Amino acid sequence: MVQTSQLAAENLFSAKGHVCVVTGGGTGIGLMITQALAANGARVYITSRRKEVLENTAKTHSPSGDGEIIPIGPCDVTKKEDLENLVAEIGKKEKSIDLLVTNAGISGPKGSPESSDASELNKNLFKNEDFASWSDTFNTNVTSVYFTTTAFLPLLQASIKKDDHHLSPSVIVISSMSGIMRDSQNHFAYNAAKGATVHLAKLMSYEFKEAGIRVNSIAPGYFPSEMTAKESGEDNKSELPDEKIQEKGHVPHGRAGSDEEMAMGALFLMKNKYVNGEIIAIDGGALLELPGR
């Protein structure tokens, strides 16, 4: 029988003793999740293509308690050799990992469909975009998620050997509300790629369940990041003013999501062993306003 005291938040969402890996963990949503894990006691390895960003994040945001933020890499998640080196390097330090967060992503090319004239649409979409930029968008937002996850499967499964009170290994795929809606948002490549990321998470959740590895996805709405705000400060944090969100006209909450709200979503999916194959939208109600599938 569970005692009432055992249901305290610090017990339900403690990450003490957990080993986690976050790609794109130096800024934006990846940093929010990294902070949440480390603040609750996890040892968090963060990687990206920019070594100086990783080192600054670890220096600036490592907690004073039990948790730790460890920069590792750099790593380009679109290159198998980099991923193999990353897994090998972490494998030298850890016997297993409990959580992988595949967060690295890019926005891709823009093309406006806001015209009823076919010639104008042709100019904005066909002539102004190219195959290479679409391929780059898919490689980073979809293909890299697949190869990053499959590269870490042995280290993830290895954590099952721990005691029964430990977290079952899991993967959190950062997709997007853009992959669940019909509105292109002037980003056909990005939204199509994120739609594929959403489905990839479902495929992996089904196929890896026999290996004892859960796969879930967070589909964020507008959160401060270098992608949405176009920049970050000396602390690698970004700001997204309320008026920028209100201008969009389709976010009932009228603001960007907060670090705390992303943190709660990540901790929930990491700790709840009874959740598998789910796509959790944290979007301020935007999908209530935009056409979805």
Q: φ and ψ at 139, to 5 degrees?
A: -60, -45
Three-state DSSP state, 19: strand
Per DSSP, the three-state class of 100 is strand
Written as six digits, the tokens of 260 are 């705390």
Taking Cα atoms as reference points, which of 26, 69, 19 lies closest to residue 270?
Answer: 19
Cα-flanking dihedrals φ and ψ of residue 292, to 5°? Answer: -120, -175
Quote the crossing angle between the two packed helices 188-207 and 131-138, to the nearest 10°. 30
End-to-end CA distance of the chain: 42
- CA atoms of 162 and 96, how far apart (whole Å): 10
Instruction: Give the neighbor-by-neighbor strand order of the sheet with 43-47.
Output: 68-71, 43-47, 19-23, 99-102, 170-174, 214-220, 279-282
In terms of Cβ atoms closer than 10 Å to its own Cβ (0-12, 13-18, 19+), residue 4 is: exposed
Residues labelled as active-site residues: 175, 190, 194
Distance CA 235, CA 155 (A): 31
Q: Between helices 28-39 and 259-271, what is the axis angle to 10°? A: 60
